[in-house]
Amino acid sequence: MTPRELIDTAAVPGGEDLRLFRRGDDYMIVLDRNELMNSRMSGSEEALATMACERLDSPAPRLLIGGYGMGFTLRAALGVLPADARVTVAELVPEIIAWARGPMAALTAGGLDDPRVHLAMGDVARAIEIARSDYDAILLDVDNGPDGLTRAGNDGLYSARGLASAKLALRPGGILAVWSAAPDTAFARRLRNAGFDTDEVAVRARSNGKGARHVIWFARKP
Protein backbone atom coordinates (compact mmCIF):
# COMPACT_ATOMS: atom_id res chain seq x y z
CA MET A 1 0.00 0.00 0.00
CA THR A 2 1.20 3.49 -0.83
CA PRO A 3 2.25 5.23 2.41
CA ARG A 4 0.35 8.34 3.32
CA GLU A 5 2.19 11.65 3.20
CA LEU A 6 1.75 14.41 5.76
CA ILE A 7 0.96 17.61 3.85
CA ASP A 8 0.30 20.13 6.62
CA THR A 9 -0.93 20.64 10.17
CA ALA A 10 -3.39 23.16 11.57
CA ALA A 11 -4.04 24.36 15.10
CA VAL A 12 -7.66 24.22 16.27
CA PRO A 13 -8.44 26.96 18.81
CA GLY A 14 -9.18 25.19 22.07
CA GLY A 15 -8.44 21.76 20.56
CA GLU A 16 -5.76 19.49 19.17
CA ASP A 17 -3.99 19.91 15.85
CA LEU A 18 -5.51 18.73 12.61
CA ARG A 19 -3.28 16.93 10.13
CA LEU A 20 -3.79 16.74 6.38
CA PHE A 21 -2.52 13.56 4.73
CA ARG A 22 -2.40 12.46 1.10
CA ARG A 23 -2.23 8.91 -0.22
CA GLY A 24 -2.14 8.89 -3.99
CA ASP A 25 -5.16 10.93 -5.08
CA ASP A 26 -6.93 10.59 -1.72
CA TYR A 27 -6.85 13.07 1.17
CA MET A 28 -7.49 12.53 4.87
CA ILE A 29 -7.96 15.03 7.70
CA VAL A 30 -6.98 13.47 11.01
CA LEU A 31 -7.39 14.56 14.64
CA ASP A 32 -5.15 12.56 16.99
CA ARG A 33 -6.06 8.97 15.97
CA ASN A 34 -9.48 9.89 14.56
CA GLU A 35 -9.89 10.22 10.81
CA LEU A 36 -12.45 13.02 10.57
CA MET A 37 -12.69 13.16 6.80
CA ASN A 38 -11.61 11.13 3.80
CA SER A 39 -12.01 12.27 0.20
CA ARG A 40 -13.16 8.78 -0.81
CA MET A 41 -16.18 8.94 1.48
CA SER A 42 -18.40 11.91 0.69
CA GLY A 43 -21.86 10.39 0.45
CA SER A 44 -23.24 11.26 3.86
CA GLU A 45 -21.78 14.79 3.77
CA GLU A 46 -23.49 15.32 0.42
CA ALA A 47 -26.73 13.89 1.81
CA LEU A 48 -26.57 16.41 4.65
CA ALA A 49 -27.00 19.15 2.05
CA THR A 50 -29.30 17.57 -0.51
CA MET A 51 -31.73 16.08 2.01
CA ALA A 52 -31.88 19.33 3.96
CA CYS A 53 -32.56 21.32 0.80
CA GLU A 54 -35.33 18.88 -0.18
CA ARG A 55 -37.09 19.80 3.06
CA LEU A 56 -37.08 23.57 2.40
CA ASP A 57 -40.05 25.54 1.11
CA SER A 58 -38.37 28.91 0.49
CA PRO A 59 -37.85 29.92 -3.18
CA ALA A 60 -34.63 31.73 -2.21
CA PRO A 61 -33.19 29.79 0.73
CA ARG A 62 -30.61 31.15 3.15
CA LEU A 63 -28.27 28.51 4.54
CA LEU A 64 -25.56 28.42 7.19
CA ILE A 65 -22.99 25.62 6.90
CA GLY A 66 -20.57 24.98 9.75
CA GLY A 67 -17.66 23.97 9.00
CA TYR A 68 -16.23 23.65 5.54
CA GLY A 69 -14.39 20.31 5.89
CA MET A 70 -13.52 19.07 2.41
CA GLY A 71 -16.33 21.04 0.81
CA PHE A 72 -18.61 18.12 -0.03
CA THR A 73 -21.62 19.58 1.78
CA LEU A 74 -21.17 22.99 0.17
CA ARG A 75 -20.74 21.54 -3.31
CA ALA A 76 -23.84 19.38 -2.94
CA ALA A 77 -25.89 22.33 -1.69
CA LEU A 78 -24.80 24.53 -4.59
CA GLY A 79 -25.76 21.76 -6.98
CA VAL A 80 -29.42 21.85 -5.94
CA LEU A 81 -29.97 25.45 -4.78
CA PRO A 82 -31.41 28.15 -7.07
CA ALA A 83 -29.40 31.10 -8.35
CA ASP A 84 -30.82 33.49 -5.77
CA ALA A 85 -29.99 31.28 -2.78
CA ARG A 86 -27.36 32.45 -0.30
CA VAL A 87 -24.98 30.19 1.64
CA THR A 88 -22.81 31.32 4.53
CA VAL A 89 -19.94 28.97 5.36
CA ALA A 90 -18.54 29.40 8.89
CA GLU A 91 -15.05 27.93 9.27
CA LEU A 92 -12.94 28.32 12.39
CA VAL A 93 -9.59 27.05 11.07
CA PRO A 94 -7.92 29.19 8.37
CA GLU A 95 -5.76 26.29 7.16
CA ILE A 96 -8.88 24.35 6.16
CA ILE A 97 -9.62 27.05 3.59
CA ALA A 98 -5.96 27.23 2.56
CA TRP A 99 -6.03 23.48 1.92
CA ALA A 100 -9.25 23.86 -0.06
CA ARG A 101 -7.64 26.46 -2.31
CA GLY A 102 -4.29 24.65 -2.39
CA PRO A 103 -3.71 20.87 -2.39
CA MET A 104 -7.43 20.01 -2.46
CA ALA A 105 -8.46 22.58 -5.07
CA ALA A 106 -9.81 19.85 -7.35
CA LEU A 107 -12.25 18.80 -4.62
CA THR A 108 -13.33 22.39 -4.02
CA ALA A 109 -14.32 22.75 -7.69
CA GLY A 110 -14.69 26.52 -7.35
CA GLY A 111 -17.43 26.30 -4.72
CA LEU A 112 -15.88 28.93 -2.48
CA ASP A 113 -15.89 31.37 -5.41
CA ASP A 114 -19.56 30.83 -6.24
CA PRO A 115 -21.40 34.21 -6.02
CA ARG A 116 -24.01 32.61 -3.76
CA VAL A 117 -21.37 31.84 -1.11
CA HIS A 118 -20.17 34.03 1.74
CA LEU A 119 -17.18 32.71 3.71
CA ALA A 120 -17.24 33.74 7.37
CA MET A 121 -14.05 32.88 9.23
CA GLY A 122 -14.95 32.17 12.84
CA ASP A 123 -16.93 29.97 15.19
CA VAL A 124 -20.26 28.77 13.79
CA ALA A 125 -21.66 28.89 17.33
CA ARG A 126 -21.17 32.67 17.33
CA ALA A 127 -22.83 32.98 13.92
CA ILE A 128 -25.82 31.11 15.31
CA GLU A 129 -25.96 33.13 18.53
CA ILE A 130 -26.23 36.49 16.77
CA ALA A 131 -28.81 35.37 14.20
CA ARG A 132 -32.55 35.93 14.55
CA SER A 133 -34.75 34.16 12.00
CA ASP A 134 -31.96 34.60 9.44
CA TYR A 135 -31.70 31.09 8.02
CA ASP A 136 -33.91 28.53 6.33
CA ALA A 137 -31.40 25.83 7.23
CA ILE A 138 -28.37 25.37 9.47
CA LEU A 139 -26.14 22.43 8.53
CA LEU A 140 -23.64 21.27 11.16
CA ASP A 141 -20.73 18.91 10.46
CA VAL A 142 -18.00 20.20 12.76
CA ASP A 143 -17.42 17.04 14.81
CA ASN A 144 -17.89 13.28 14.40
CA GLY A 145 -21.22 13.62 16.14
CA PRO A 146 -23.10 15.77 18.67
CA ASP A 147 -20.15 16.21 21.03
CA GLY A 148 -17.10 18.45 21.00
CA LEU A 149 -14.55 16.06 19.47
CA THR A 150 -12.50 18.62 17.58
CA ARG A 151 -12.67 21.12 20.46
CA ALA A 152 -14.42 21.07 23.82
CA GLY A 153 -16.08 24.40 23.03
CA ASN A 154 -18.23 22.69 20.41
CA ASP A 155 -20.18 20.88 23.13
CA GLY A 156 -22.31 23.99 23.45
CA LEU A 157 -23.66 23.55 19.94
CA TYR A 158 -25.45 20.38 20.97
CA SER A 159 -26.58 21.45 24.45
CA ALA A 160 -30.09 22.58 25.32
CA ARG A 161 -28.86 26.19 25.21
CA GLY A 162 -27.17 25.67 21.83
CA LEU A 163 -30.30 24.13 20.37
CA ALA A 164 -32.37 27.03 21.67
CA SER A 165 -29.99 29.43 19.90
CA ALA A 166 -30.31 27.45 16.67
CA LYS A 167 -34.08 27.60 16.94
CA LEU A 168 -33.98 31.38 17.27
CA ALA A 169 -31.62 31.63 14.29
CA LEU A 170 -34.00 29.68 12.04
CA ARG A 171 -37.03 31.02 10.25
CA PRO A 172 -40.38 29.30 10.94
CA GLY A 173 -40.26 25.91 9.24
CA GLY A 174 -36.47 26.06 9.07
CA ILE A 175 -34.25 22.99 9.36
CA LEU A 176 -31.37 22.25 11.73
CA ALA A 177 -29.43 19.36 10.16
CA VAL A 178 -26.72 17.64 12.20
CA TRP A 179 -24.34 14.98 10.87
CA SER A 180 -23.03 12.16 13.06
CA ALA A 181 -20.91 9.05 12.58
CA ALA A 182 -23.24 7.13 14.92
CA PRO A 183 -26.66 7.32 16.61
CA ASP A 184 -27.05 9.30 19.83
CA THR A 185 -30.32 8.80 21.68
CA ALA A 186 -29.58 11.52 24.24
CA PHE A 187 -29.08 14.11 21.51
CA ALA A 188 -32.22 13.01 19.68
CA ARG A 189 -34.11 13.49 22.94
CA ARG A 190 -32.62 16.99 23.41
CA LEU A 191 -33.80 17.95 19.93
CA ARG A 192 -37.35 16.91 20.77
CA ASN A 193 -37.20 18.61 24.16
CA ALA A 194 -36.08 21.81 22.40
CA GLY A 195 -39.34 21.78 20.46
CA PHE A 196 -38.07 20.54 17.10
CA ASP A 197 -39.98 18.08 14.91
CA THR A 198 -37.19 15.59 14.35
CA ASP A 199 -36.46 13.07 11.60
CA GLU A 200 -33.44 10.77 12.13
CA VAL A 201 -32.09 9.28 8.88
CA ALA A 202 -29.37 6.65 8.35
CA VAL A 203 -27.17 7.26 5.30
CA ARG A 204 -24.19 5.45 3.82
CA ALA A 205 -20.71 6.95 4.00
CA ARG A 206 -19.98 6.54 0.29
CA SER A 207 -21.85 8.19 -2.56
CA ASN A 208 -22.30 4.75 -4.20
CA GLY A 209 -24.50 3.65 -1.29
CA LYS A 210 -21.80 1.56 0.38
CA GLY A 211 -19.68 2.01 3.48
CA ALA A 212 -20.53 2.61 7.11
CA ARG A 213 -23.91 3.91 8.19
CA HIS A 214 -23.92 7.49 9.41
CA VAL A 215 -26.79 9.45 10.94
CA ILE A 216 -28.30 12.82 10.09
CA TRP A 217 -30.93 14.53 12.21
CA PHE A 218 -33.27 16.91 10.39
CA ALA A 219 -34.94 19.01 13.05
CA ARG A 220 -37.68 21.36 11.86
CA LYS A 221 -38.66 24.51 13.73
CA PRO A 222 -42.49 24.61 13.92
In this structure, what DSSP letter does residue 141 have?
A: -
Any residues with CB less than 8 A from the CB of 161 and at least 6 apart, and which?
Answer: none
The per-residue pLDDT string of the chain (222 residues; one tens digit each, 9 = 90 and over) reads 688 999 999 999 888 899 999 999 999 999 888 888 899 989 999 999 999 999 999 999 999 999 999 999 999 999 999 999 999 999 999 999 999 999 999 988 889 999 999 999 999 999 999 999 999 999 998 876 786 444 445 678 999 999 999 999 999 999 999 999 889 999 999 999 999 999 999 999 888 778 889 999 999 999
What pLDDT is stored for residue 218 in this prediction? 98
The contacts of residue 188 (CB under 8 Å, 6+ apart) are 198, 200, 217
Neighbouring C-beta atoms of residue 222, cutoff 10 Å? 9
Closest CA to 96 of 128, 139, 66, 67: 67
Q: Is the peptide bond before 67 cis (omega within 30 degrees of 0)?
A: yes
pTM summary value: 0.93
Cβ pair 62, 135 in contact under 8 A = yes
Continuous segment of H or E residues that includes residue 74: helix 72-80
The set of residues, in sequence order, having a beta carbon less than 8 Å from that of 3 and lying 6+ positions away, is 23
